[in-house]
Amino acid sequence: MNNEKSQKNVFKPRSCQGKRVIPTACTYSRDGRLIAAACQDGSIQIWDRNMSPIGRESH
């Protein structure tokens, strides 16, 4: 039962201008509290497990 339309988005990364960016790689911290995404615009975005962005984007 793998229906793409029923899958929920974990997070939606956005650029500094508010436009959506595509993540190209993603990893979790060992304790599962943080998610880091490398995005197509060259940024690295870090989120906590509540889906709140942490800090500023890095380039």
39 part of a folded domain: yes
Q: DSSP readout, 12-52?
A: --B-TTS-B--EEEEEE-TTSSEEEEEETTS-EEEEETTS-
Q: What is the pLDDT of residue 38?
A: 93
Q: What is the mean pLDDT of the chain?
A: 78
Q: What total number of domains does the chain contain?
A: 1
19 part of a folded domain: no
Which one-letter DSSP state was computed for residue 56? -
**Longest distance between any two alpha carbons in the chain, whole Å:** 38
With H, G, I as helix, E, B as strand and everything else as coil, classify residue 6.
helix
User: Domain containing 41: what range?
Assistant: 24-54
Residue 1 pLDDT exceeds 70:
no
46 part of a folded domain: yes
Kindly report the pTM of this predicted structure.
Answer: 0.63
